[in-house]
Amino acid sequence: MKQNLVRKTKLFWPWQDREEEAWLEAMSRQGLHLSEARTLGRYAFEKGAPKAYAYRLDYQDSLKDEQHYLKIFEDAGWQRVATQGGWHYFRQEIRAGQVPEIFSDSDTKIKKYERFKTLLVSMLPLYVLVLALNASLPDGEVWGFRWWAQVCASAVSIPFFGALSVLSVIAWFKLDKRIQELREL
């Protein structure tokens, strides 16, 4: 492990991107600059001199032309510092008190949230299917497994996919609320 690397864990939900950006900005003011973002809220920061960076997140689940996408941000002065699960983390130094933005209007911010909602809609049927399959497996020997193996598998998958289903629905409504707030601006 690099000596100038600091690891921190802090969980943010998809609708808490503004809070995540503010936290990353506070870390940079303390001399910890984002270098990596991982699943389950795990971050790596490089130690350095304190700087005033603006961090902004964009969600793109699939990029047809990643080079073109990054060039647009680069031309506007943004540096991509991390990517995790479709979320792209950009930063730019704050100069003369002017905090830069990557989205110029509410419509582009709304599109970011709608892209994530599309992911939720596409994954929810899979979660429900796994739950339904677990609930419908017959008793006794199944696919060469004894009943206890089925119980163990169900004891793990039902809570896991049940929680994912609930979180997906919550995320949908929270993101929808954020979209409504942006439409009212």
Q: Give the tens place of pLDDT for each residue, 64-78.
A: 899 999 999 999 999
Q: How many CA atoms lie within 13 A of 6 on its CB side?
A: 12
Output the pLDDT for position 120: 86
Q: How far is CA 141 from CA 90, 126, 129, 136, in A?
A: 52, 25, 21, 14
Q: In angstroms, rounded to a whole number, what is the distance separating the alpha carbons of residues 44 and 93?
A: 19
Q: In the chain, what is the straight-line distance between the N-terminal and C-terminal CA atoms, in Å?
A: 46
Query: Of 178, 18, 19, which Cα lies nearest the Cα of 110?
Result: 178
Tens-digit pLDDT profile for residues 80-130: 999 998 999 999 999 988 888 998 889 999 999 999 999 888 887 877 777
- Residue 127 has a pLDDT of 74
Residues 6+ apart with CB under 8 A from 24: 34, 53, 55, 89, 91
pTM of the predicted model as reported, rounded to 2 decimal places: 0.82
The token duo for 81 is 């510092």
* pLDDT > 90? residue 137: no
Q: For 150-181, what is each residue's pLDDT tens digit?
A: 666 666 777 877 888 888 899 999 999 999 99
